[in-house]
Amino acid sequence: MEKNNLLKPGERIDELYANNIKIIQSAEVFSFSLDAVLLADFAQPVLKQTGKVVDLCAGNGAVGLFVSKKTRASIVEVEVQPRLAEMAERSILLNDLGERISTLNVDLKEIYAHIPKDSVDTVICNPPYFANQPTSKKNPNPYLALARHESTASLADIIQTISGLLKMGGKMYMVHRPERLQELFLLLAQERLVPKRVRLVYPKKEREANMVLVEAIKDGRPGGLRFVPPITVYDEQDDYLPEVRRVLYG
């Protein structure tokens, strides 16, 4: 497929200028947001060419594409929604990264048929943030509802899958909501994942944190948890602060 034929109706190409990555987006299906960019910046994927990175709950493939500039390893983007996985596939072609990045359109329950257990060096995950309660008010758009609510997999399922994929000593990177950090830590402990680094993200100086970035190591030594300096996104004039500008524009 030629590059100029990669777009479908209702789609656009956005660019993360910091690392010259172009992404096919669609407001009607899904668009990556700042959490994906901050997660990719926070992640420290395995560097070697023989390494393996998995971008779980990949959506339109943004995180996997963004981290591709930080590693020579192969990257697999795993996404359950066929339309999003197909968009990710076209974004990979758009950036000439087909030799290193591939997509896998499967449910988490089927993942080990495609990626062997204990074989992955780094798993990066931007999961749905909201538990799938009967009372949850879901987005009427089914694509966005699936991206935001744990409809096909709970946080426990996701953490279990991450641990299953990772080699001993492999690393996980995740972005989530601060109000679920306690639950996240309990689930990590149950699945042999030891949190090592946490970074809080604040929308503005006087506001509460609305995102948390977590690094954990499979079978890591207990203790040694570090809270690294937080990120504040906007100043009083609603302009991006320097750290966020760096992540977006380089």
Residue 31 has a pLDDT of 82
> In which residue are the tokens 């991206």 written?
147
Residue 153 has a pLDDT of 80
Q: Which residues of the chain have pLDDT under 50?
A: 1, 138, 144-145, 147, 149-150
CA distance 179 to 169: 27
CA distance 111 to 104: 9
Q: Where are the domains of the chain?
A: 3-249
Residue 203 has a pLDDT of 97
Q: What tokens does 159 get?
A: 């953490």
Residue 43 has a pLDDT of 98
Q: What tokens does 103 get?
A: 């997509």
Instruction: Determine the CATH number of domain 3-249.
Output: 3.40.50.150
Q: Confirm if 72 and 49 have CB atoms less than 8 A apart.
A: yes
Radius of gyration of the chain (CA): 17
Residue 6 has a pLDDT of 85
Residue 114 has a pLDDT of 98
Residue 133 has a pLDDT of 56
94: amino acid identity, one letter: L
Residue 28 has a pLDDT of 86
CA distance 147 to 128: 5
